[in-house]
Amino acid sequence: MAMKTVVALATSIVGLVGVAATAVADGYGGRPAAAPCCQTGWSGYYVGINGGYGFSGDDQTVNLNQTFATLPFFNGNFGSLDIAGAFGGLQLGANHQMGKWVLGLEADIQGSDITDSSSFTFTPYLAPGGTLTASTRNTVGWFGTLRPRIGFAWDRTLVYATGGLAWGAITHTLQTVDNFGFSSSDRKSTLAIGYSVGGGIEHAFSSRLSVKLEYQYIDLGSEHYKAPELFGAAATAFAWNTDTHTDFHTVRVGLNYKFHDRGEAPLK
């Protein structure tokens, strides 16, 4: 069902690209110019595409704790994980204009490769000459938001604030190996829920097409991960534990297509 929805939205976006090309051709191909922009304001439903870059919300120190049964045994840390990477996706929403004020609701879904990894060798570990090598990776494979928007319009330009619900898929891996014959490996994917807050500016260059520049801070909360430790192939009572907090800043650009309002004459 989700795949059908993505395919349907992607088909709509392909149509938007054609509409954008036609709009450009109308403006520069010698045909009569369209009517002045935004005669009907910002009210209406819209769909669009966007892309951008996400980068770490803080220099997070990742602690590494070894336990025996439930008892603490060894403590260390990896340094910091500074996740970063590109993303892109779709958005849809609706606006209602009241004078200069614009109220709206927007949802978006993004595929992403916002990730970072870290490794460290602890020495001496437990005894002189003992070494432990540990590595970890945190990746946000996709994320989405559902947010109200409130903005102020100056004709073609809308400045707005936004914030609301955020969610995303986080994949975390942890591996350790020491020179005593012990090792551990764990990979866990989690659907995390958090919040988003930000704002942006949107400019309409026709009564149907607009571009936006937007900033959002997204916090997907904290997760605990546990990797049981093996001696060779045999299970032991030892385990390695980490806690990570996933948050990041995003900067994106987007293109929106606004559908005709009921009773509104289409552009000529």
Count up the domains in the chain and report the number. 1
Instruction: Give the pLDDT of residue 60.
Output: 65
Could you give the CA distance from residue 260 to residue 95 in angstroms, rounded to a whole number?
12
Write the pLDDT tens digit of every residue in 239-249: 999 888 899 99
Would you say residue 9 lies in a domain?
no
- Domain assignment of residue 31, yes or no: no
Q: What is the mean pLDDT of residues 156-185?
A: 95
12 falls within a domain: no
pLDDT given for residue 187 in this prediction: 93
Q: Is 35 a member of any domain? A: no
**Is residue 36, in this structure, part of any structural domain at all?**
no
Please tell me the predicted confidence (pLDDT) of residue 81: 83
Question: Would you give the DSSP letter of residue 36?
Answer: P
pLDDT tens-digit readout, 121-158: 888 888 899 999 999 999 999 999 999 999 999 989 99
Q: Are 174 and 225 in contact (CB under 8 A)?
A: yes
Q: Given this model, what pLDDT does residue 61 score?
A: 66
Q: Is the pLDDT of residue 3 over 70?
A: no
The rounded percent of the chain whose pLDDT value lies above 90 is: 62
Which structural domain range is residue 80 located in? 42-258
Question: Residue 8 class from Cβ within 10 Å (0-12 exposed, 13-18 middle, 19+ buried)?
Answer: exposed
- pLDDT for 118: 87
Q: So what's the pLDDT on residue 23?
A: 45
Among 15-29, 106-120, 201-215, 219-233, the minimum mean pLDDT is found in: 15-29
Strand partners, 96: 103
In a domain, 154, yes or no: yes
Tokens of 32: 């009569």
For residue 197, being part of any structural domain is answered with yes
Mean pLDDT for 167-196 is 95
Residue 35 has pLDDT above 90, yes or no: no
Q: Residue 97 belongs to a domain with what CATH number?
A: 2.40.160.20
Mean pLDDT for 220-237 is 93
Instruction: Kindly report which listed range (56-65, 82-91, 120-129, 131-140) carries the lowest average pLDDT score.
Output: 56-65
Task: Count CB-CB contacts under 10 A for residue 261.
Answer: 12
CB 115 within 8 A of CB 139: yes
Polymer length in residues for the chain: 268
Q: Is the pLDDT of residue 34 over 60?
A: no
Residue 100 falls inside a structural domain? yes
Prior bond of 124 cis (ω within 30°): yes
C-alpha 1/C-alpha 107 separation (Å) is: 18
- For residue 251, pLDDT over 80 is answered with yes
